[in-house]
Amino acid sequence: MISNERHSLAGIIGQDILRHGKLPLLLLIGALVSAVLVVTTAHKTRLLTAQREQLLLERDALDIEWRNLILEENALGDHSRVERIATEKLHMGHVDPAQENIVVKQ
């Protein structure tokens, strides 16, 4: 009995894989999914590493600015500087308690 049916090559391969090659097909799909997940994870890791580096640089800049502000605060709060400004700009001077006449209001 000769059959004149024509079968496509893709159909024959698909039937053969489904009939005899289920395990290799599942392993191939698993390997492809795993490869995509590895690439995605590596990409996200690189992005997070770059973001971490940027945040570390920003932290260092803020730390330097904070230290400069502490130095500036110490310089501005220096007693000799305050005394000099009070004497020169505000014409203030030291008061001698022995010569002070205090008027107390009651």
Contact between 17 and 10 under an 8 Å Cβ cutoff? The reply is no
Residue 102 has pLDDT above 70, yes or no: no
Side-chain half-sphere of 47: how many Cα atoms within 13 Å? 6
In a domain, 101, yes or no: no
Please state the pTM of the whole predicted model: 0.53
Structure confidence by residue, pLDDT tens digits, 1-54: 566 677 799 988 888 888 888 898 899 999 999 999 999 999 999 999 999 999
In a domain, 65, yes or no: yes
Range of the structural domain that residue 29 is part of: 15-88
At which residue do the structure tokens 């995605």 appear? 40
In a domain, 104, yes or no: no
